[in-house]
Amino acid sequence: MSMIFGVPIAVLYGQLLIGIINGAFYALLSLGLAVIFGLLKIINFAHGAMYMLGAMATVILFDTLGVNYWVALFLAPVLVGIVGVLVEYFLLRRIAGQDHIYSLLLTFGVALIMQGILTNIYGVSGLRYSMPDVFKGGVNLGFMFLPFYRAWVIVAALLVCFGTWFMIEKTKLGAYLRAGTEDSQLMQGFGINVPLLVSLTYGFGVMLAAFAGVLAAPIYSVTPVMGSHILIVVFAVVVIGGLGSIGGAIITGILMGVVEGLTKTFYPPASSAVIFLVMVVVLMIRPSGLFGKEA
């Protein structure tokens, strides 16, 4: 078997694949954060909890109502999106005029509540979700074995990322969104219902997180605390990439997944810390982030 720096090449490709998949999740989550940040100017600390809700909903819908994976792929994000709209309408809106730090703390409280309640009901040990039959097995590419489901995760995540980018950059609705990012007061003056747009934006942002949650359900262990760790990693990703651009969020997410995968291959003990270390380096040499405009 061929080796690279003492590592079998198949292992390297395997870790690279896992890295790209993790990166796809980072990309989806930081994309949602960036969308929400654009219009609301807040960091959604409940983003991890929404991701977790998406995954939990997939499992619970299957266990109780027998809802299959494909339906869940649409239903779970919609349900979580509704939760998001409610959170925005009843909570965030009330403090919209205050310092953004308060909205951040509010979403942190919301995350604690969601995570705490679900932990009490389902425990922290994790729920099992069996993979849909279509995705069992995989294909041998010659240099490595590619499980079908992992290929699907990458394709689905990339499609959604691209779709979101297209919607924001190329459509009328996206133009409203970008205009709101620049100056929401002026836009309101033009007769556009900004409060509605804000609600929907928050809802859409958390839908992306929930979609990532559904994708994660068959491959990661589904627990009420699954969101909190990945959220902190995604924060580091966001600091590295900057929240300024949609494309930047996607690219940085996937890149960091790959970096993590490579570290796991060549120096495993550092793999959980490497993204944070990259963040430290970026802060030292390019404080505004790779794609960031503002400080």
Partner 1 sequence: MSQTDIQSDIQASILRQQKTENRRKLILNGVLLVLLLLAPFVLYPVFLMKILCFALFAVAFNLLFGFTGLLSFGHAAFLATGGYTTGYLLSNFSGLTTEMGIIAGTLVATLLGLGFALLSIRRQGIYFAMVTLALAQLVFFFFVQAPFTGGEDGMHGVPRGELFGLINLEDNLNMYYFVLAVFLGCYLLVQRIVSSPYGHVLKAIKQNESRAVSLGYKVDRYKILAFVISAALAGLAGSMKSVVFQLASLNDAHWHMSGEVILMTLIGGMGTLLGPVLGATLVVNIEYQLGQGPLRDWVDPILGGIFVLTVLAFRSGIVGEVQKFVRKNMG
* Out of 67, 73, 75, 95, the residue judged to bind partner 1 by CB under 8 A: 95
Residues 205-264 binding partner 1 (CB under 8 A) are 228, 232, 235-236, 238-239
Determine the distance from the C-alpha atom of residue 285 to the mean position of all C-alpha atoms in its chain, rounded to a whole number: 26
87, two tokens: 């959170």
Q: What is the DSSP letter of 269?
A: G
| Secondary structure (DSSP) of 29-55 | HHHHHHHHHHHH----TTHHHHHHHHH
Residue 163 near partner 1 by CB under 8 A = no
Torsion angle defined by CA atoms of residues 104, 107, 85 and 56, in that order, rounded to the nearest 10 degrees: 140
CB contact at 8 A, 220 and 149: no
Residue 293 near partner 1 by CB under 8 A = no
Distance in Å, CB of 200 to partner 1, minimum: 22
211, two tokens: 């979609």
Q: Which amino acid is at 254?
A: I
Residue 53 near partner 1 by CB under 8 A = no
How far apart (Å, rounded) are the C-alpha atoms in residues 114 and 107?
A: 11
Residue 7 vs 232, nearer CB to partner 1: 232
Residue 120 vs 185, nearer CB to partner 1: 120
* Out of 94, 128, 136, 170, the residue judged to bind partner 1 by CB under 8 A: 94
Classify burial at 141, counting beta carbons within 10 Å of its beta carbon; exposed 0-12, middle 13-18, buried 19 or more: exposed
* Out of 89, 102, 122, 220, the residue judged to bind partner 1 by CB under 8 A: 102
Residue 46 vs 214, nearer CB to partner 1: 46
Distance in Å, CB of 36 to partner 1, minimum: 11
Q: Residue 229: which residues within 8 A CB-CB, separation 6 or more?
A: 48
CB contact at 8 A, 159 and 148: no
CB contact at 8 A, 203 and 80: no
Distance in Å, CB of 88 to partner 1, minimum: 13
Residue 176 vs 291, nearer CB to partner 1: 291
16-24, 91-99, 155-163, 215-223 -> range binding partner 1 (CB under 8 A): 91-99
Tell me which residues touch partner 1 (CB under 8 A): 42-43, 91, 94-95, 98, 100-102, 104-106, 108-117, 119-120, 228, 232, 235-236, 238-239, 269, 272-273, 276-277, 279-280, 283-284, 287-288, 295
